[in-house]
Chains A and B, each alone.
Chain A
Amino acid sequence: DARVTQTPRHKVTEMGQEVTMRCQPILGHNTVFWYRQTMMQGLELLAYFRNRAPLDDSGMPKDRFSAEMPDATLATLKIQPSEPRDSAVYFCASGPGQPNTEAFFGQGTRLTVV
């Protein structure tokens, strides 16, 4: 059963610290999404990659957030420095990149910044 794997599942950190979240997309998928979920804002797109190239990161605060795909099996989302308002669940999703196909979500990383 192919799944998107995210680590860590939970992260508590102090304000100002760097946070790195990792995602392993489903093997063979060439599109990767990072979403942030909060009660107030719902599912917000932070970044979107196709074939490891960023296509849309307009929803990501550039001053503190960065997203990369060092290789096809790893996507990372970094926050530096972290702030309490970054507390949320961060989801990674991947898709096969074909038209009209779904995105498969990982279990998410619940981030708490104190």
Chain B
Amino acid sequence: GENVEQHPSTLSVQEGDSAVIKCTYSDSASNYFPWYKQELGKRPQLIIDIRSNVGEKKDQRIAVTLNKTAKHFSLHITETQPEDSAVYFCAARRSNYGQNFVFGPGTRLSVLP
């Protein structure tokens, strides 16, 4: 089955700096990779996703890169703001029916003012 690892487990950055979170997956058949943000006491919410036919995707201050050969993908947040502080989860999924999302263990990001 799929196994997703995520690093680092905690990350502190100064406001305005960039943050990078990295994930690796084991199942080469996985082809959908979402990133979820979970604020304290709230539900995980999708912030960006990438499909295996794309190497990079950007949405304002957030970008995700995918390296299928190496089986890793990364989340990049630029110009971090205090409201970016949260736990971020990466996940991997195969597109065919019957495959659930496998989540990484999460990264707690703290943006210091």
Contacts and interface: CB of A to CB of B under 8 A. Distances in A.
Given A33-B100, A50-B98, A55-B98, A100 B43 contact: no
A82 to B, nearest CB: 22
A50 B100 CA distance: 10
Nearest to A3: B43
Given A42-B105, A43-B89, A107-B43, A102 B100 contact: no
Interface of A, secondary structure class, is strand
B106 A42 contact: yes
A106 interface: yes
B43 A106 contact: yes
Interface stretch (B21-29, B45-53, B65-73): B45-53
Contact of A99 (B43, B44, B95, B104): B95
Given A42-B103, A106-B43, A107-B42, A100 B95 contact: yes
Interface of A: 33, 35, 42-43, 45, 48, 50, 55-56, 91, 97, 99-108
